[in-house]
Amino acid sequence: MKLGIAILAAGQGTRMKSDLPKVLHPLAGRPLLRHVLDTAQELGAARICVVQGHGGEQVRVALAGVDCDWALQAERKGTGHALIQAMPSLAGMDRILVLYGDIPLIRPGTLGRLIAESADRGLGVLTAITADPSGYGRMVRDHDGQVRRIVEEKDATEAELAIDEINTGFLVADRARLEAWLSQLGNDNAQGEYYLTDIVGMASAAGLTIATTQADKEEEILGVNDRIQLADLERRYQGRVAWDLMREGVTLLDPARFDLRGRLRAGRDVTIDINCLFEGEVDLGDGVSIGPNCCLRDCVIGANTRIFANSVIEEARVGQDARVGPFARLRPQAVLANQVHVGNFVEIKKASIGPGSKVNHLSYIGDARIGGGVNIGAGTITCNYDGANKHLTQIGDGAFIGSNSALVAPVSVGEGATIGAGSVIGHDAPAGKLTLTRDRQRTIDHWTRPVKAPK
């Protein structure tokens, strides 16, 4: 069975009050439409066609790397009209599943049940029972409980408005039958649109029994029409992710204050404090502890390492049993070996730091190779940039860099060397020796501090 998936994503989204097409607004750091495309791919679709309209070129550029076809709905004449635009791309498919670019939390498992439970029916519809059906089409059933049609809210009678079973919009149908039904659609309704839901009445009139399946969670069928709904789905999504992580053994000190915008892989006995943000691909080893208010992006943290409060780590690797922060920043290509300590207000960029080394206070280390067992004193900087090019600083194993030192690259400090506090080192410092540039202290007699002239 070849499954084709049509994703209807042509809506303008006027209530978003934005120049950005609605389906490109981010949920957990990814466009709404990308979530739906990921779900479609997880279902193993043989072909996916996205129907785009408003801001179509912008949508295609933003999702250029996705394996799908694109169809244009130049005039928005309803969901039925939108699906008609996708059908040529889905020729040769056995069944067609219809998804929506602004309903991002639908689960593959729910759609899999819809497909399976309607396999011998020709048409399956995903429905929901809700205490507040306003805004949705209603499922009209006969006395035997069989679905006869779907009535849109604006066309419904008072009795039909009281029905609490709604149409979610998701459906799956045999392609040949679907093409025939689409060719018969009319627009004699309050909106003057070609309703996709009208095919349910056609299927019933043809004597088909229509299969209905219900979603496990309400959040799966919720769409985005404005920023309030987008914010609501963001929290629902983050709650879903948080519960999944806790089921896998991660401790979240407050799951309501956790955000993931990518993928997080965590080992055993990982603890994450409040207000932490994870972006891209993040790996946390066994026993890792993340303090409050941290941001981690595209990084790997080794086992039993502690990241203290208010630290930022991006495109970096940290070894085992290390200590980072508080208020530390690891920038791209920072590589910390096992048992490294990086303390408060320290910034590391494009530098490797060897096992057991310490950079504990108020320092900048950029474009550097630092050996093991090195101690870098407070206020030390590597002067890596000459205004045009970056240069390398190398520090050998066991070196001691005194506080408030400046290492002017390119420069090398030998193994076991000591740099005196307050030095500016512009030439290589030999191994095992003390090197310093400190001037002799002097006191200037008869000196007067300048004062401002009175106005």
| pLDDT at residue 48 is higher than 80 | yes
The mean of the pLDDT values for the chain is 95
At 36 the three-state DSSP class reads helix
Instruction: Read off φ and ψ for residue 9, nearest 5 degrees.
Output: -145, 35
The amino acid sitting at 94 is D
What is the model's pLDDT at position 190?
A: 77
DSSP state, 454? P
What is the model's pLDDT at position 188?
A: 84
Confidence tier at 28 by pLDDT (50, 70, 90): very high
Across the range 18-33, mean pLDDT stands at: 96
What residues have CB less than 8 Å from 20, skipping those under 6 apart? 55, 58
What is the model's pLDDT at position 55?
A: 82
C-alpha span between 297 and 299 (Å, rounded): 6
Q: Which of 322, 228, 312 is nearest to 276 (CA)?
A: 312
Across the range 9-29, mean pLDDT stands at: 93
Q: Could you tell me which residues are beta bridge partners of residue 264?
A: 282
Instruction: List residues with catalytic annotation.
Output: 361
Confidence tier at 13 by pLDDT (50, 70, 90): confident
Q: List domains and CATH numbers for the chain.
A: 3-221 (3.90.550.10), 227-435 (2.160.10.10)
Across the range 10-31, mean pLDDT stands at: 94
| pLDDT at residue 54 is higher than 90 | no
**Percentage of the chain modeled with pLDDT above 70:** 100
Show the DSSP H helices in 145-299 as ranges: 158-161, 175-183, 198-205, 227-247
What residues have CB less than 8 Å from 357, skipping those under 6 apart? 337, 340, 341, 370, 371, 372, 373, 374, 375, 376
What is the model's pLDDT at position 332?
A: 98
Q: pLDDT digit string (tens) for 268-285?
A: 999 999 999 999 999 999
C-alpha span between 187 and 327 (Å, rounded): 61
Q: pLDDT digit string (tens) for 124-174?
A: 999 999 989 998 999 999 999 999 999 989 999 999 999 999 999 999 999
Q: pLDDT digit string (tens) for 187-221?
A: 888 788 899 999 999 999 999 999 999 988 899 99
